Every structure is written in C-alpha cells, then in structure tokens.
Amino acid sequence: MLGRTDSRLRLVALLAALVVFAGALGLRLSYWQLSEATRLRELAAAQLARPEVEEAQRGRITDRRGTMLAGTAYRDLLAAHPDLIRQDMRKVLALRLAGLLELGEDETAQLVGKFEDGVAYTVVARRLTEAQSQEVRAQLDAGALAGLTLEPRPVRFYPNQGGSPSTTLASQLLGFVTEDGEGQYGIEQYHQAALAGRPGVTAALEGVDPPVAGADLQLTIDASLQLRLEKELHAAWVANRASQVSAVVMDPTSGAILAWGSVPGYDANSYAAIARSQPDRFVDPLASQVYEPGSVMKMVTAAAALEQGVVTPQTVINDSRVLKFGDIGVRNSDRRGMGPMPFADVLAHSRNVATSKVAAMLGDTTDESAAILYEMWQRLGIGARTGIELSGESGGLVSDPLDRRWQPIELANRSFGQGVAVTPLQLAVAYSAMVNGGLLVDPHVVDAVNGTPQIADPPERVLAPDVSRQLQELMVHVVSDVDQHSRDTLVPGYLVGGKTGTAQIWDAASGGWLPSVYNHTFGGFIGREEPEVVIIVRIAEAEPTVRKSWGWALEMSTNELFKRIAQDTVDVLDMAPATAPADDPLSPGP
C-alpha cells in the first residue's frame, strides 16, 4: 500500500508564506503612498510641467557715436480668462474693455463672443499704451476687472524721427522686428541670430539655463548725417514728384557706410500698418532694387579704355549725330553731334555716340571689345553682390558675352549704361575703386559687435594707380568743364568730381520706353585734397519739367542733390575746406 501524502500541512505553509508576502507588499505600498507621496507628486508634476522660457534682451543698435537707433522696451499684453469670470459679468466686462481700448464694432463683437463662450484664455490686446496699462492696472487693483492679467512683453522700438513725416530714422536700413521677435529686412533680419541672443529655460528636472542677451551692434552710420540726408532726399522727392529718391554716402578707402537712405521710408514702430497698406516700402532701393543707370557707366567704359591704352584724356573722338547699326541707330540725348573733341570732353558732355565708338575700340572685334568691357564690370563689382551685412541684396542683371554674344548695338548701349542693371550700392563700390587708387573695398555698415571692432578683409587691387588717378581727374573735369554742372555741383574749397546719368525706363507691360520719364543718377566724390567721401544719388522715375537753354531739366537735379548732401557731409564730419577751390586738372588753361 502506498504511503499517504498529507497535503494539509503544505497548504498551511503556503498560506502562511502568502500572508507574509502580502504583508510586506502592503507595508511597501504604504511607504510609497504615505511617506513618499509628496515627493512622488512633485516628481510627476515636474515631468508633466512645461519648461518656462525667459525672453533674452535683444541687442541695441547704435550709430558710430553711440546714438541709439533701435532698442527694446516693455509693453503690457492684456489677457483674459473668461472661464473664471461669472457668466452674468462676461459681456459687461467685454464691453468695458472695448470702450477702454477704443475697439471698433467688429472687434467688440468678437471680444464679447469669446467672453460669452467662456474660453480658458484669450489675448485682448497685444500692446497697450502706457495710459491704457495704467487704467487697467488701476481697475484690477480696485477689483473691477476680474479674470484679467497684464503680461509685460518686450517690444522693439525705434526712437528717432526720420527726415520725412511719419517715418523713423534709417527705416529701410534697419528693418523691423515682429511681435514674435523675428527681424525682418535690413540689419534686423541679417543679424537676427546675434541681436536676438538665446532665451533662458527653467525646467524642474534640468534646472535653470539662463538667457543670453543679444549682441549690441554699433554701426558706421552717423545719425546726424543720416537725418540731414533724409531731409535732402525728401525735398528732392517732393520737388521732382519722383517715385523714389535714394542716396548712399561711403568712405571710399574703408568701405564704411556713413549715411544710407531712401524716400519714401516708413515708421518701423508701426510696421504692421505699413504691411497692410504699402509693403513695397520695406524693400531697400539701395541694395535690393536694380535699374539701368545710364551715363554714370561711361566712367567704367573709360576705365577699360584707359587701361587698354586705346585713348587718353586728350585723344580726339568724332562725335557724330548718329551711329548706325543696320536699321537701328545710337543718338545723343540732344540729337546732335559735336564733332571732333577730346575724350575728356566726351565724358563732360556725355556723348553717347562718341562713347560707343570708344567701346568698339577696346578690341579688334565686337566679341573682344565686349569681353574686355564685361571683365571691367566684373572687376569693379558690377553684376555681383557686394556682401554688405543687409538682407535681400541683389546682384544686378548683366549679360555675359560668353553666354550670349553681344551684338554691336548692345555693346554700344551698354557702354553708356543701357542694357545693364545695377544697384546704387554697386555704383558706390565701383566709383570708390575708380578714385581711391584702384582698390575694391568691401562696403559695410557694422563697425563693432559688443564693442569689438569688426576687421574688414584687405581690399583687392582692381585698377592700376595711374588709371585711378586719370579717372579721378576726368571726373573733376566733368563737373568743372560744363557751366551748368559746375554751378550745380562744385563746393568751393573742396575737390569735387563725378558723372551724371539719365536713363530711359523700359515698360514691360507696353513693350516700349516710358515717355518723358527717366531714372536720374549722379556718382561722385568730395574731399579736401583727395576723395574722402563717395556719394551716389538716384532720382527714380521723374519727368524733367523745367525748361533750360540747353533742354529740359528736373526741378532739383541730381547734381544739386549731390552738392547739398556733400555740403552736409563735410559739415557733420568736420572736414575743414582747402585754402582755395580745386582747379580742373584737365583744363587747357590760359
């Protein structure tokens, strides 16, 4: 007989073990639920909580003397929690706020709807005035505006009035900053990363990562000269009824931009209103818009011709009435020919026909001449971005003769600035190289970052010094030889030179030239004994309406505008005049 197995004892042992295990588990659970409950709740809350972000202070922008051009202030955002407001008071409070903020009928209706719906959170106004903030704060303290909060928010502001009504100083150069802290256009966009800094983050598990303030930028701009420049541009804009008037003032030896402006500008503090009505004003004509400049490009053709040795300032060129290319002809603006004349006078009297002949002399064939002229464009920066620290710079529109052969008529037209599109900034760089000894400088507007000077790359030699000296003398001759130019351009006691340009405007819609409306440009320099400042002015889409003995002219010519800006420049920069007016180096004398 098999032995009997008694299972009762085994069951009792197993039950005892289970009781002991359950007791231990209960004690452990009690420990976590009672002793560690608070810590566990905090840990869980920390894991679920969103990190707190602290805005970084945006860097300031100042001029070369430390005058603030852009800074940051704090304005209150008014928010509401309608779900925390008694239902019978929601509409009452919404209407009270609408009256305080002077909301329109539609905005009032939207606000009342949000309050009556009892939403958890809504923004009532993003940017209160100081008076509105004081009124809201007073009513909050009195308990009259339950469920509302004031949240200070950083706001970019531009403290200086511009040279035109309802504008801020250097608006297109600086750009603006949106409500979410993003720089748009100009310096604000190009230097967004440096100016914005890095926000701070506070997280329960990771701790505190403090914010890093944005860098302060000191510009090469002089605020006093900038204001005067904008006033001069506004006067020319009104006088000539032009679509735009622009100018840049640059140091030709360093590339530092001393003043930079266009009219019409805008109020950067009210950028949202401008965006709704006139967003085209945000685009900077000096760096971002291209146009056919006309006869200011004759100096570039002169640079190529002097370098190739095909002319000297005294070389006689026959200026005929017309230069025919099959059925097409090149003519001078006055429809006349002046006959044989020195090349210096070809430039002084801005003869299209004679300049076209000089361009054809650059090489043995049209292809060779085109290649030589195009290569000079490239060396002087025509057709390429300058690399200035601004957003949206254009490289211009030029035709490479290797990509598409130039016809003889195209070589002629391009020799005097038609069929090529540039920016005024490119002209400033090219003119600087032509008069500073032959060095291509990098234009720049930022002088220092957080007090550390920015070191520019050394300039590249693009012209021989003797060619640059001849070009400088030719520009002096241009503004000295012709009476109307000398009266409107020369500044007694200073060395002044330059070249005008008047270009027809192609209308793509009609497929023809706009009648009686032109782009007017002047490129020139002023200094005491050497060129110290290069100034490029452009009066866009203006019709000459003043009758002169020699033809039609603008109410305020580009020469006159240049002279006024030049006088402002020597005054602000404290450039004492020379002892006597500079003579024309190419004048035949008595």
Strand 328-331 and strand 339-342: pairing?
unpaired
Rounded-to-integer distance, Cα 43 and Cα 114, Å? 36
Q: Quick check: 155 and 127 in contact, CB under 8 A?
A: yes
Is the C-alpha dihedral spanning 432, 434, 435, 440 positive or negative?
A: positive
Distances (CA, A) of 185 to 118, 174, 190, 254, 351: 40, 7, 7, 25, 39
Nearest CA-CA partner of 417 in 523, 328, 509, 314: 523
529 vs 302, 404, 495, 525, 562, CA distance in Å? 23, 44, 6, 11, 19
Beta strand extents in 528-585 (DSSP E only): 533-542, 546-548, 551-553
- Whether 230 and 244 have beta carbons less than 8 Å apart is answered as no
Residue 442's φ and ψ, nearest 5 degrees, are -95, 115
How far is residue 137's CA from residue 153's CA, in Å, rounded to a whole number?
16
> Which segments within 232-356 are labelled E, that is strand?
244-250, 257-263, 316-319, 322-325, 328-331, 339-342
* 304's tokens: 């190529």
Candidates 286, 60, 290, 69; CA nearest to 174 is 69
**pLDDT tens for the chain, residues 1 to 590:** 445 555 666 665 666 665 555 555 555 555 555 556 666 566 555 554 555 656 788 999 999 999 999 999 888 888 888 888 888 888 888 888 888 888 888 888 988 888 888 888 888 887 788 888 888 888 888 887 878 888 888 889 999 999 999 999 999 999 999 988 999 999 999 999 999 998 876 655 566 678 899 999 999 999 999 999 999 999 999 999 999 999 999 999 999 999 999 999 999 999 999 999 999 999 999 999 999 999 999 999 999 999 999 999 999 999 999 999 999 999 998 899 999 999 999 999 999 999 999 999 999 999 999 999 999 999 999 999 999 999 999 999 999 999 999 999 999 999 999 999 999 999 999 999 999 999 999 999 999 999 999 988 899 999 999 999 999 999 999 999 877 778 899 999 999 999 999 999 988 888 888 888 999 999 999 999 999 999 999 999 999 988 776 678 899 999 999 999 999 999 999 998 876 555 667 766 54
Q: Comparing C-alpha atoms, which of 191, 392, 192, 160 is closest to residue 265?
A: 160
Query: According to the model, what pLDDT value does residue 1 have?
Result: 47
d(CA 370, CA 411): 6
- For 96, the token pair is 């009270």
Q: Residue 384: exposed, middle, or buried by beta-carbon count in 10 A (0-12, 13-18, 19+)?
A: middle
Alpha carbon distance, N-terminus to C-terminus of the chain = 155
CA distances from 445 to 157, 456, 566 (A): 20, 11, 19
CA distance 349 to 319: 10
pLDDT at 46: 52
Distance CA(474)–CA(487), nearest Å, equals: 18
Q: Quick one: which H or E segment has residue 503?
A: strand 495-507
Backbone angles phi, psi at 542, to 5 degrees: -120, 145
- DSSP-derived secondary structure letter, 50: P
Which runs of consecutive H residues, i.e. helices, occur in 334-482? 343-348, 352-360, 366-379, 408-415, 424-435, 465-481
- According to the model, what pLDDT value does residue 590 have? 47
- Contact between 230 and 164 (Cβ < 8 Å): yes
User: Angle at CA 424, nearest 5°, toward 276 and 262?
Assistant: 40
The one-letter amino acid at 215: A
- The answer to whether 306 and 288 have CB atoms below 8 angstroms apart is no
Tokens of residue 323, six digits = 């230069």
- Other CB atoms within a 10 A radius of the CB of residue 460 amount to 13
Q: What is the pLDDT of residue 579?
A: 61
Q: What is the 3-state secondary structure (H, E, C) of 110-151?
A: HHHHHHHHCCCCEEEECCCCHHHHHHHHHHHHCCCCCCEEEE
Residue 261 tokens, joined: 């402006």
Closest Cα partner for 346 from 518, 586, 553? 586
Task: Give the DSSP letter string of 566-577.
Answer: HHHHHHHTT-PP
Q: For residues 161 and 227, give the distance between their C-alpha atoms in angstroms, rounded to a whole number.
A: 8
Strand-pair category, 61-62 with 217-219? parallel
Task: Please name the fold of domain 223-572.
Answer: Beta-lactamase (3.40.710)
Helix 352-360 and helix 366-379, axial crossing angle in degrees, nearest 10: 100
**Cα separation, 475 vs 570, whole angstroms:** 19
Integer-rounded Cα radius of gyration of the chain = 35
Angle between the N-to-C axes of helices 408-415 and 352-360, in degrees from 0 to 180, rounded to the nearest 10: 120
- Region of 540 (left: φ > 0; alpha: ψ -120 to 50; beta: rest) is beta
Is residue 313 within 8 Å of 475, Cβ to Cβ?
no
